[in-house]
Structure 1
Amino acid sequence: MKLFGMLDSPYVRRVAISLELYGIKFEHVPFSVFSHFEEFTKVNPVVKAPTLTLDNGQLLMDSTLIIGFFETLAPAEHKLLPKETKTLAEDLSILGLALAASEKAVQFVYEHKLRPDEKQHQPWVERVTGQLLAACEGWNLALKERNNLSGAIDQVSITTAVVWSFIQHMIPQVLAERQFSAIEQVTQRMESLPEFQKYSWR
């Protein structure tokens, strides 16, 4: 089994850490969608990271779909999402906010790092920034209400730490004047774990 993609992608990193916690053995292949484009096309013509090739040759992509597949296979002691419907819905709601923040952060990065200054569309930048801030505010509040800031290792805490670390590394200036204490607390706790250290990209 091989996981293709760079660990500076929050989506690749959340899959790598999740697989580690599920107890799944895999090889990480650090292909970039930019600098390894041609090589990546031979694995997945769509060139989407993360891409996971199963031992039977089946190809999976999209971090949430990959994680969902292994969540269904995981024994009870390795599951990262709750079984109870109400609690599951609450966790999925938080994950939606965290992943929305990730999506908007990636869009912000692409707009500023890949597009020349004269080609950047300021109304679009302002819109994406507003969406990012709204997602982070909702995400932070939901974590406070969840009251599990120092609790178990689960998919909410994994995704929270991975996405927040990405945002802080790539675009810290966007959120510099705001405090997101619950997100930061979860991130500090998770980033100290050996699974996070093993798949660190810094």
Structure 2
Amino acid sequence: MKLIGSAASPYVRKVRVVMAEKRLDYQFIKEDVWADDTTISQSNPLGKVPCLIMDGSEAMFDSRVIVEYLDTLSPVGKLIPQQSRERAEVKTWEALADGVMDAGILWRLEATWPKRADTERSQAWMDRQRAKVEGGIAAMSKGLGDKPFCSGIHLSLSDIAVGCALGWVSFRFPDIDWRGEHANLAKLCDKLHLRPSFADTMPA
């Protein structure tokens, strides 16, 4: 398998962490989708990463689709439960984490996209996205409470999604002091970063 993506993307990192936890072999192909010479549309018509290329050149995209598929490839470290209620809980955690990343990316693009003049940037839009990021992090903290992991007592996709989202927020928005405000999330992330899957995929 080949994974096309960026080392800075939190969605790509989520897939890479899952692949490491599942002990799956793959080739990582770095791609800057914002570069003028990007070829990502040849694999994903939406021009986004991550994109997983399977044997036979078949492409799969969207991190949620990819990680669900990867979890079926190996019985090692099952990350998504089979039971409907537990499964829905894990997928809801993933949706919350992805929502934080979605809002953060919209915020960052509005603030930094070089093809937009400073006079064209909307502070109200950026404030709205920041509120979503901070609100989502507060919801993560409330949902985690004093549990060892987001969805019970074992690592699941919930924790991987949350860890990748928070790691990206720290990477792109260091002024957001989520660690100081949510000690339980900081404790969870410190525990996650002891795992090689997280330590080896730090955003850069």
What TM-score, normalized by structure 1, do the two folds share? 0.88
| Residue equivalent to 2:9 | 9
Amino acid at match of 2:108: V
C-alpha displacement at 1:30, in angstroms?
0.8
| Residue equivalent to 1:123 | 124
- 1:164 touches 1:184 (CA, 8 Å); kept in 2? no
- 2:14 touches 2:160 (CA, 8 Å); kept in 1? yes
Amino acid at match of 1:121: S
| Residue equivalent to 2:38 | 38
Is 1:98 aligned to residue 100 of structure 2?
no
- 2:148 touches 2:188 (CA, 8 Å); kept in 1? no
| Residue equivalent to 1:159 | 161
The alignment partner of 2:3 has SS state of strand
Structure with the largest fraction of helix:
1
Distance in structure 2 (CA, Å) of the matches to 1:154 and 1:98: 13
Distance in structure 1 (CA, Å) of the matches to 2:154 and 2:179: 30
Amino acid at match of 1:187: C
- 1:37 touches 1:47 (CA, 8 Å); kept in 2? no
| Residue equivalent to 2:198 | 196
Structure 1 residues 175, 61: CA separation in 2 closer, same or farther (over 3 Å shift)? Answer: same
C-alpha displacement at 1:6, in angstroms?
0.6
C-alpha displacement at 1:129, in angstroms?
1.6
**Cα deviation code 1:58-95 (max 9, x no counterpart):** 100100010111223332x3211222333222222222
- 2:137 touches 2:178 (CA, 8 Å); kept in 1? no
What TM-score, normalized by structure 2, do the two folds share? 0.88
The alignment partner of 1:164 has SS state of helix
The alignment partner of 2:60 has SS state of strand
Comparing 13-22 with 30-39, greater Cα deviation is found at 30-39
Please give the root-mean-square deviation of Cα atoms over the aligned residues, in Å: 2.2
Structure 1's consecutive aligned runs of 4 or more residues displaced over 6 angstroms after TM superposition are none
Is 1:49 aligned to residue 46 of structure 2?
no
Comparing 141-150 with 113-122, greater Cα deviation is found at 141-150
Amino acid at match of 2:107: F
C-alpha displacement at 1:112, in angstroms?
0.9
State the aligned residue count: 201
Distance in structure 2 (CA, Å) of the matches to 1:89 and 1:141: 18
- 1:22 touches 1:74 (CA, 8 Å); kept in 2? yes
| Residue equivalent to 1:89 | 88
C-alpha displacement at 1:151, in angstroms?
4.6
Distance in structure 1 (CA, Å) of the matches to 2:184 and 2:102: 20
C-alpha displacement at 1:5, in angstroms?
0.8
**Cα deviation code 1:25-69 (max 9, x no counterpart):** 110001111126433233334321001100121100100010111
C-alpha displacement at 1:110, in angstroms?
0.9
- 1:140 touches 1:183 (CA, 8 Å); kept in 2? yes
For structure 1, list consecutive stretches of 5 or more residues without a partner in the other structure.
none
Structure 1 residues 30, 177: CA separation in 2 closer, same or farther (over 3 Å shift)? Answer: closer
| Aligned-residue identity in percent | 20
Distance in structure 1 (CA, Å) of the matches to 2:161 and 2:108: 19
- 1:105 touches 1:132 (CA, 8 Å); kept in 2? yes
